[in-house]
Amino acid sequence: MMELYIANKNYSSWSMRPWLVLTAFELPFREVLLPFPKERGTGHFKQDVLAINPNGKVPVLVHDGLMVWDSLAICEYLAEQFPERQLWPAGRAQRARARALAAEMHSGFQALRNHCGMNIRADLAEVGQTLWAEQPDLRDDVARVCQIWSERPDPGGFLCGDFSIADAFYAPVVWRLKSYALPVNEDSQYYMQTMLQHPAMQAWEQAAKQEQDWVNYLEPYQSEPSSS
């Protein structure tokens, strides 16, 4: 049985990608969730991850005596292991596009990442409004995302036809744009709805919203609600 090591579903955008792929394509796996510590550098998260992956990060896939780290490498490994499931699109043109889109997400969109950390349960619309007004690099990133989302082959569908690894790579952006209520064009709103209705996205969302952990260093815009 494959094992996928991830961190908190509310916060861990990299963990989300291979988890969605495994879930959406109904590949059997066991999830191992290693929660982030409340304060950076405390707790045993790092030590637990280092015990399986020397680079100290999740996600990590363990399968058949192999340890595969990095979300894109994990998805490529899965695509190779289960070719009949077509984790990448079957057609050459859409497959090439899907790979390019996943690579672009994997290596870019720094402003979106830096300013708008994924926080599924949060309503950060006010923060989003300020960021939108003050951060031109963020507006550029969102414009590029909207361009990509508007170029779908079927306006009612996924990025490259059926749901594929490319969509899993843009899934955390759907959450970032939603939590920070950043303005997007109509095509992109439609894509976001399509994604939010996908059963794998809904399963992740539900689990994320049930999490109680509050990770201070991933909450730069709000303080922990008091329990009393």
Ligand X SMILES: N[C@@H](CCC(=O)N[C@@H](CS)C(=O)NCC(=O)O)C(=O)O
Positions that interact with ligand X (CB under 6 A): 7, 12-15, 46, 56-59, 70-72
Residue 140, CA distances (Å) to 26, 99, 109 in order: 35, 22, 9
Cβ proximity to ligand X, 158 vs 169, nearer residue: 169
Q: What is the dihedral of CA 214, 217, 222, 224, to 10 degrees?
A: 30
The token pair that represents 131 in the structure block: 């960021």
Q: Is 211 exposed, middle or buried (0-12, 13-18, 19+ CB in 10 A)?
A: middle
Cβ proximity to ligand X, 187 vs 205, nearer residue: 205
Cβ proximity to ligand X, 59 vs 161, nearer residue: 59
Whole-number minimum distance, CB 8 to ligand X, in Å? 9
Whole-number minimum distance, CB 15 to ligand X, in Å? 6
Whole-number minimum distance, CB 122 to ligand X, in Å? 16
Whole-number minimum distance, CB 105 to ligand X, in Å? 10
Cβ proximity to ligand X, 102 vs 201, nearer residue: 102
Residue 41, CA distances (Å) to 37, 152, 215 in order: 7, 42, 12
Say which residue the tokens 């599924």 belong to. Answer: 120
